[in-house]
Amino acid sequence: MTKQLELLRPGQIAAEMARCPRVWLPLGTIEYHSHHLPVGLDGLQAHGLCLDAAEIAGGLVYPPLWWGTGGGHGAYPWTVMMPDTSALIALLWQTLTRLQAFEVRQVILFTGHFADEQLEMIAGLASDWNAQSSALGVLAFGVNGNATSPLPPDHAGRFETTLLAAYQPQTLDMSLLPPANPGEAGEDPFGPQRHATSHSLHGIFGADPRGYIPQDAPALRQSMAVWLAEQAGAVPAAKA
């Protein structure tokens, strides 16, 4: 049976919740990730990893919520960012409220968009929710949180290019990246110069994706999925 909650009938959802009352809730954005990657990368990688983690640790995966905030590049092409967190918190709070009513006992908020503002939002939301001492517990993580990842996290660089390739390889087109500019050698890969449209790696913050090795994708996917599944820990059984 699929782990995608939106594809299941109510009875199927209830049966899985009786076995493991856990819901994985992926968050992403519609956001520019240079020429070679799709704008939905954040949600795609978060959803894929949640599906993998659910296969390992149990539970069902909610459809991605395609909204986020922060990062300092809201004016980039085909990027839609919320100006603050208020609407996002209201949406997520209502989602948690309804999931609690269905006797879900754990929700993992997992964001593929890991701007500081986004990470602070989900951490604060989890803390505020858990302070109620309700039957539903909330955990919050970002895709950048795996300290043992084979590749360090980045934005549209080698890490995100490789991870997305593990789930949606047909969405990559590495030929669209321009050749390297010799004058860019040795620069800070997270420096402000990457915001310049004249830069060969415009909008890419992290390791040069032109070093992407397709064979690295399965190992990165496995490392990330196992790490995420481990974060969930144990969840109490649902009430009879």
Q: Which amino acid is at 187?
A: E
Q: Is residue 19 in some structural domain?
A: yes
Q: Please compute the mean of the pLDDT values over residues 159-186 and round it to a whole number.
A: 95
Taking 50 as the threshold, does the pLDDT of residue 240 lie above it?
A: no
State pTM to two decimals. 0.95
Range 1-30 average pLDDT? 97
Q: How large is the average pLDDT for residues 110-117?
A: 97
Q: Using 50, 70 and 90 to split pLDDT, how confident is the model at 2?
A: very high
* The pLDDT of residue 74: 86
Classify residue 239: in a domain, yes or no: no
% pLDDT > 70, the chain: 98
CATH number of the domain residue 217 falls in: 3.40.50.10310
Across the range 17-35, mean pLDDT stands at 97
Average pLDDT, integer, range 36-46? 98
Is the pLDDT assigned to residue 238 strictly greater than 70? Answer: no
pLDDT at 236 > cutoff 80:
no
Q: How many domains, the chain? A: 1
What is the DSSP secondary-structure string of 137-189? EEEEEETT--TT-SS---BSSHHHHHHHHHH-GGG--GGGSPPPPGGGTT--T
Helix (H) or strand (E) holding 219: helix 217-232
One DSSP character per residue, 59-113 reads -EEPPPB---B-SS-TTSTT-B-BSSSHHHHHHHHHHHHHHHHTT--EEEEEES-
- Whether 37 maps to a domain, the answer reads yes
Range of the domain at 208: 5-232
Q: Average model confidence (pLDDT) for the chain? A: 95
What mean pLDDT comes out for the span 170-185? 93
Is residue 237 in a domain? no
Residue 46 domain flag: yes
What proportion of the chain, given as a percentage, has pLDDT over 90?
A: 90
